[in-house]
Structures are given as structure tokens and as C-alpha cells.
């Protein structure tokens, strides 16, 4: 997998199903989402009609077994290298897009900054961040960690 420049927008979860549905419709390759748990995610968090076994399937996406409800789902995107949906420990949403950057091109960071601003505006994000191979934050504590962060915008 080539290196990617990842951008994330922190979205306060108002109408979570509508926000997630819009992101999926706009950015996710629904014909080939790349993760078999995508349908469980849609049933549980968009349609709000989970099937038996969906909770267990989605629990596998947690980075921390103790972080009840926080997970990230990596998906194939329509116009980007990837789309990432994260539900945080606080109940908010972090929406992410990955830009392919195999050559560490400085133009990619500029493009990422533009994509981040657009993503924040489109989904009314309160804050944004970006970096190369940046893991999606699943909590405010992780959001505050500047370790790999190259871009920041707004505040939570």
C-alpha cells in the first residue's frame, strides 16, 4: 500500500444517521466498499435497524477493547484513495479521506489542506487535522496528540 496523506474532520453528532448517509453517498464506493462489515455499519448506524451479529462484527473494528462504541471503518472511496468513518468515545463522528502520495509530493499536502477545508465545510466540522499515514482519532485524547499531525484547523 502506498503512503497516503490522511485528512480528518471532527463532526459533532447531531443527526448522526443523516451525516453518515451523506458521507457514504458522496465518498464511498458502494459497489466495492472493501470491508465486509460495511453492510453491518449501514444497518446499525444509518438505517438504525441492526441485524443479529452486527454488533459483534463492528466490535472487531475497535482499536481498544475497552473503548465501547469507538471504532474506525476503512473503505474504498470514489475519488480518493480511501474513505474512513470513525465513531468516537464521545459519541461524535470523525470523517476521513486518504489522498494517495507515493512520492511524498509537497503538492499533496496543499491538496490535502484544500480537501480538509472542503470536508469541514460540507459536514460542518468543528476541527480538522491531517498527516501522512495518520490513524483516525477515536477520542478527544487521541485528537490532541500531535505526533504525526501536519495540518490542523479549527478547534473542538
The 3-state secondary structure of 71-82 reads EEEEECECCCCE
Q: What is the pLDDT of residues 7-28, one digit of tens each?
A: 999 999 789 999 999 999 999 9
Q: What is the DSSP letter of 2?
A: -
Average model confidence (pLDDT) across the chain: 94
**Does residue 116 sit within a domain?**
yes
pTM of the model: 0.94
**Does residue 88 sit within a domain?**
yes
**Does residue 130 sit within a domain?**
yes
Q: What is the pLDDT of residues 98-154, one digit of tens each?
A: 999 988 888 999 999 999 999 999 999 999 999 999 999 999 999 999 889 999 999
| pLDDT bracket for residue 69 (50, 70, 90) | confident
Q: What is the pLDDT of residues 52-64, one digit of tens each?
A: 999 999 998 988 7
**Does residue 42 sit within a domain?**
yes
pLDDT at 67: 72
Domain that holds residue 109: 4-147
Q: Between 147 and 81, whose confidence is greater?
A: 81
pLDDT at 34: 97
pLDDT at 2: 65
Distance CA 35, CA 73 (A): 8
**Does residue 33 sit within a domain?**
yes
**Does residue 156 sit within a domain?**
no
Overall number of domains in the chain: 1
Compute the C-alpha angle 48/58/153, nearest 5°: 85
User: What φ, ψ does residue 7 adopt, rounded to 5°?
Assistant: -120, 145
Contact status, residue 82 vs residue 4, Cβ threshold 8 Å: yes
pLDDT at 102: 85
**Does residue 153 sit within a domain?**
no
**Does residue 55 sit within a domain?**
yes
| pLDDT bracket for residue 71 (50, 70, 90) | very high
Amino acid at each position: 500500500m502506498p503512503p497516503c496523506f490522511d485528512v480528518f474532520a471532527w463532526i459533532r453528532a447531531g443527526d448522526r444517521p443523516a451525516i453518515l448517509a451523506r458521507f457514504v453517498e458522496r465518498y464511498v464506493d458502494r459497489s466495492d466498499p472493501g470491508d465486509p462489515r460495511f453492510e453491518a455499519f449501514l444497518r446499525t448506524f444509518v438505517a438504525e435497524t441492526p441485524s443479529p451479529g452486527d454488533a459483534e462484527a463492528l466490535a472487531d473494528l475497535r482499536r481498544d477493547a475497552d473503548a465501547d462504541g469507538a471504532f474506525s471503518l476503512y473503505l474504498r472511496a470514489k475519488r480518493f484513495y480511501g474513505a474512513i468513518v470513525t465513531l468516537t468515545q464521545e459519541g461524535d463522528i470523525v470523517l476521513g479521506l486518504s489522498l494517495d502520495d507515493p512520492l511524498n509530493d509537497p503538492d499533496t499536502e496543499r491538496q490535502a489542506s484544500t480537501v480538509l477545508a472542503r470536508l469541514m465545510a460540507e459536514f460542518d466540522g468543528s476541527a480538522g487535522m491531517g498527516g501522512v499515514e495518520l490513524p483516525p482519532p477515536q477520542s478527544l485524547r487521541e485528537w490532541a496528540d500531535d505526533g504525526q499531525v501536519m495540518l490542523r484547523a479549527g478547534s473542538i
